Amino acid sequence: MSKAGPPAGPQVRGSTLAAAVVSRHRDILWGVSLREPYEGISPIAIDGDAEHKAMTITWNDGHQSRLTYEWLRWNCPCAQCAGEGDAPGSLQFTSELQPEQTTLEDLEMVGSYGMTPVWADGHHTGIYTFRNLRGTCPCPTCESARRLAPGSTQ
Give one DSSP letter per residue of 60-72, joined into a string. Answer: TTS-EEEEEHHHH
| Phi, psi dihedrals of residue 48, rounded to the nearest 5° | -90, 150
CA pseudo-torsion sign 137, 128, 40, 55: positive
Q: Which residues contact 137 (CB under 8 A, 6 or more apart)?
A: 63, 65, 67, 143
Q: What percent of the chain has pLDDT over 70?
A: 75
CB 57 within 8 A of CB 43: yes
In this prediction, residues 119-126 reach a mean pLDDT of: 96
Report which secondary-structure segment, H or E, holds 46: strand 43-49
Taking the C-alpha atoms of residue 141 and residue 63, their distance in angstroms, rounded to an integer, is 10
25 band by pLDDT with thresholds 50, 70 and 90: very low
Report the predicted TM-score, pTM, of the whole model to 2 decimal places.
0.73
In a 13 Å sphere around the CA of 80, the CA atoms on its Cβ side amount to 6
DSSP label at residue 115: E
150 band by pLDDT with thresholds 50, 70 and 90: confident
3-state secondary structure at position 15: coil
CATH architecture of 43-148: 2-Layer Sandwich (3.30)
User: Is 31's pLDDT higher than 60?
Assistant: no
